[in-house]
Amino acid sequence: MKQTLHFTARIVIVSLLFIVLFSYAMFQGGFVSWFLFYSFLPFLIYMIALTFYPIDKWDVSRKLSKRLATAGETVKVHVTIDRGFPFPLYYCVIEEYFPNSLMKKDLHFEKYRHMDEKGYLDEARQMKKISFPWFNRHISYDYELEKLPRGEHQFRALRVKTGDFFGFIKKEYVFKLDNYLLVFPYERPVQLKERAYSFEQGASPSFKLNEKNTNIVSGVREYVPGDRFSWIDWKTTAKSNQMMTKEFEQEKSVDMMIILNAVHEESATPLSFEGAVEFTASLQEELHTKSSQVAFMSLGDGRRYFPFRHDQKHRDMIRHHLAEIKPIGKTPFAQQLERERAQLPAGMVVLIVSHHLDAQMLDSLTRLAQKSKRVVFFYVKPHEHLDFKQHKLVKQLNNKGIVVNVISEEELTKREFEVNT
C-alpha cells in the first residue's frame, strides 16, 4: 500500500511538471518558452523512466569476513549490488540497518576503568555509503565493524535509495538480507592460587593438574604425538615393532560446578554483569584446560545446565551460551539457588559468579556450603558501590568458611585474573 502511494505521488509530480511547462510554452509562446520546454523535456523523460525503473530487482548481498568473533575485535563487511540493465543513476545511497545489540562497543579490559558509569559503552553505529554508478552494473563497498560487543547479532535488512538530479523523484527499497554474527566474551588467563583437586584415593590437594602418577603403571598403548620420551616402553616397542608408551593411573579431579547469576538487578551496572560473564568464560576455559570435571549452570530467565563433559563440543555449547546470555531474569537468584541446592550432589566444589549480593544470598550460600566440599564466591562489583553493608556481607561469608573474591576495577583491568579457590 505504501509503495503504491509513493509510486502514485511520483507520477503526479512528473505529470504536474510536464503540464506546467507545456502550458507555459503554449500560452507564453516564443522561442524562449519553447526552448525551456524542450530543454527540460529530457529530464522529464528521465524522471518518468526512473519512476518505472524497478530497483527491487537488484541482486544485493552482504558478506562478513567471519561469523564468529571475540568481543573487541573488528569484522569486515563487503556489500555488492548487481543490476541487470545499465540504467543511468546519478547517485545511490546504501544504508545499513544495524540491530540494537550492536549499539554498544567493547574495549576489552579498558572498559572497566569506567565500570560505575551507565551508558559508557553505548555506540550509535551508523553506516551510509553514497556512490555515483551512472551506467555501471556492479556496485560494491566495504566497511568495518569495530569494537564488537559480546552477543548474538542478526543483520536483517539493507536500504538502497536513489533519485533524479533535482530531487523531484526519490526511490528506495529495503532488501531483506539475513546475516548472523556471534561474538564470544573476551577471555583472559586465570591464575588460581589454590586448586581443589584430589587423587583417586585420599583427599590431599594436588597442584599438578596435567601430570600423571608415574609410580603405578596400568598398561601400555600406542605412541601418540605429545607423549613424553620417558614414557616409552622400549621392551614392548622392540617386541611389537612399533612405538609404545606406558599408561599411568591418572589423578582424579574433584567434581566442580560453576554457577552464574544471570538475574537482572536494578542496582547493578551493565559492566558488572559483563565482567561476571567474561570472568566465567575465562574460568571455564582455565578449568577445562586443566582437565577438570566441570559442570556449568546459569540461573536467570531460565535454568541452563551443562553436565560434566570434557570435549570440544561441550565447550563450544557453553561459549555460545555465554555469548548470548543477558541479565533478564526476575526470580531472585537466592531463591533459584536454594531450589538447585537440593538437586546438587554432596561433596562438590561450587564456584559462584555473581554481580549482586544481599542477605538472602548470604543465607543460601551458607546452606550450600554445608552440603558442598567447598564454596567459592566471585563477587563482581565496582569499588565505589562496595559500601559498609557489602563489606559486612563479605566478612560474614568469610567467617562461614566461604572463599570470597571481590572482583572490581583493579582486577578487571589486568591482563589476567588472580583469584583464590
Written as one string, the DSSP assignment of 187-204 is: ---EEESS---B-SSS--
- Segment 218-222 long-range contacts (CB within 8 Å, at least 24 positions apart): 218/247, 218/248, 218/249, 219/246, 219/247, 220/244, 220/245, 220/246, 220/247, 221/245, 221/247
pTM: 0.78
Cα 171 to Cα 51: distance, rounded to the nearest angstrom: 8
Helix (H, G, I), strand (E, B) or coil at 32: helix
Choose among 7, 44, 32: nearest CA to 166.
44
Written as one string, the DSSP assignment of 63-104 is: EES-SEEETT--EEEEEEEE-SS---BS-EEEEEE--GGGSB
pLDDT of residue 4: 65
Pull the grid cell for residue 103: 549499539
Backbone angles phi, psi at 173, to 5 degrees: -150, 140
Burial 321-358 (b: 16+ CB within 10 A, else e): bbbebebebeebbbebbbebbeebeeebbbbbbbbbbb
List, for residues 26-51, the tens digit of each pLDDT value: 676 676 677 776 777 787 788 888 88
Cα 393 to Cα 399: distance, rounded to the nearest angstrom: 10
Backbone angles phi, psi at 205, to 5 degrees: -65, 145
**Strand blocks (E) in 21-74:** 59-64, 68-70
The angle subtended at Cα 284 by Cα 196 and Cα 336, nearest 5°, is 90
**Strand blocks (E) in 107-193:** 128-131, 138-145, 151-163, 170-184, 190-192
119 DSSP 8-state letter: T
pLDDT of residue 61: 95
Cα 255 to Cα 374: distance, rounded to the nearest angstrom: 11
51 DSSP 8-state letter: H
Cα 130 to Cα 160: distance, rounded to the nearest angstrom: 10
CA dist 190 → 80, 370, 377 (Å): 43, 27, 15
Pull the grid cell for residue 413: 583491568
Backbone angles phi, psi at 79, to 5 degrees: -115, 130
How many Cα neighbours within 13 Å face the side chain of 243? 9
pLDDT of residue 233: 82
Query: Largest alpha-carbon pair distance within the chain?
Result: 115
- Tell me the mean pLDDT per 10 residues along the chain, length 421: 64 71 69 72 81 90 95 96 91 94 92 86 91 92 95 95 84 93 95 59 40 55 71 80 71 74 90 95 88 85 85 86 91 93 88 95 94 94 91 94 94 92 82
Beta strands across the sheet bearing 256-261: 303-306, 294-299, 256-261, 349-354, 374-380, 403-407
Written as one string, the DSSP assignment of 269-313 is: -HHHHHHHHHHHHHHHHHHHHTT--EEEEEESSSEEEE-S--SHH
165 DSSP 8-state letter: S
Choose among 404, 34, 109: nearest CA to 282.
109
| 8 Å CB contact between 330 and 238 | no
The number of helix segments (H) and strand segments (E) in the chain equals: 9, 18
The angle subtended at Cα 92 by Cα 91 and Cα 98, nearest 5°, is 150
Rg (CA), the chain: 32
